[in-house]
Amino acid sequence: MTAPHQAETSAPVAEFSRLLAAETVEATARKDHFEATIEECKALAKRFDLESLHFFRVDFTLKRQKDGTIKVQGMLEAALVQRCVVSLDPVPTELVDHFEALFTETGPDAGEGGRHKDSELIDFEQEDTPEIIENGVIDLGELAAQHLSLAMDPFPRRVDAEIPAAYRHPDEGAEEEQPSVFAQALEQWKQDKP
């Protein structure tokens, strides 16, 4: 007898996961440092469509605020190779980026069991809306990976890359060759001037 088919309900595993129990974050700042393994770098390179990711490391400072939210400050460093959007040649890049995030264990519909009093409920309309902590853990690795993707150049291009003539618009550069109407009028005025 075969076992009945079970639907997959688990979320996909993050390529660079570093779980932290929210309850371990206190009012005194704590620091954490993480580096991606070779396998994690390969997985992240595949996720972000990179030629390669040579290294990826992150430093975190976490502190619980008076209102119960957790403030996360991070600095990431990475060396990666993207593909030029013009020539598809490799474009090596080194990144250093700073980022911040807020996390809370209280949602907008939290009841009496939430960490905040009614008068201290978070305004979820603000720009820096905290992310909800799920199952009591914060995935610092996934947070860093998301900020890595934001820090990368969305249109990497080699300095010497040029669009081949066959793919250029026929009128490209025509404006530079033709003098402007104002320049033509000025030149005519100079010639007509006694």
Q: What is the pLDDT of residues 154-172, one digit of tens each?
A: 999 888 776 666 666 666 5
Structural domain spans, the chain:
19-192
Does residue 5 carry a pLDDT above 60?
Answer: no
Lowest mean pLDDT among 39-43, 97-101, 121-125: 121-125
Strand order in the sheet with 52-64: 30-35, 52-64, 70-83, 90-104, 131-132
Q: What is the percent of the chain where pLDDT is above 70?
A: 69
Asked if 56 contacts 35 with a C-beta cutoff of 8 angstroms, the reply is yes
Lowest mean pLDDT among 12-21, 67-76, 167-176: 167-176
Report the 10 Å Cβ neighbour count for 181. Answer: 8
- The whole-number pLDDT of residue 129 equals 86
